[in-house]
Amino acid sequence: MEIIQNCINERKKVIVKTKKYLLVITLSLIFLLSCSQKDTLVKQNNRIEASTNSLDVKYNYTIKGNTSDEFSILIEGNPIDLEYSELCKTYDGSSRMISEIASKYKNWWHAEMEVTYNQLLELLDEEDSQNLIKSQTAWESYMENKKHIEESFFYKHKYDSVGELRKALSVSEEAEETKARAYSLLEYLYIISGEINMVFSSEP
């Protein structure tokens, strides 16, 4: 009987601890969402102002298409992925190098995404511009929240045993998601202009 009672008491302790842990996570999520909402308003205002300024962009890569459904074929030979393939050939098997290569890849696509986004704001009408602003802001908030929660979950508490490899893979995931967003915006611009224009250059 005493053993059963001890088991019940231990189970109650576990339940209490679990509730406390879930409460901490819930409060953290509420805080992050609150911060992102405030940041969203600032970004929307900044983008509305930025969209009124003309852009003088120097493109280092341009390819023209004939139909709107050719984008997926034409984008395959883009210079960023070609340079990334060359970088991967130098991979030495370390987590550090995964992070370095992925960081470069992410930064290249992020720069491309920003230029394309601003070009679209100049070309779209008011309604479509506002929809694009909301879409981009939502994507950025998603990326920021994902990064904050992952860092908190994996690296600041008892799960920090994942080590450098998990951190490196996180950067790789960010790079792929940034590329996917850049692809989407480039495709929107291609539908309007019939061209894929990129500022990336492999030259230093």
Q: Residue ranges per domain, the chain?
A: 2-198
Q: Residues 148-165, buried b or exposed e (16+ Cβ, 10 A)?
A: beeebebeeeeeeeeeee
**DSSP letter, residue 196:** E
Rounded average pLDDT over 39-56: 42
Global pTM reads: 0.69
CB 71 within 8 A of CB 196: yes
Per the prediction, the chain carries an average pLDDT of 75
Give the tens place of pLDDT for each residue, 75-128: 998 999 999 999 999 988 888 899 999 999 999 999 999 999 999 999 999 999
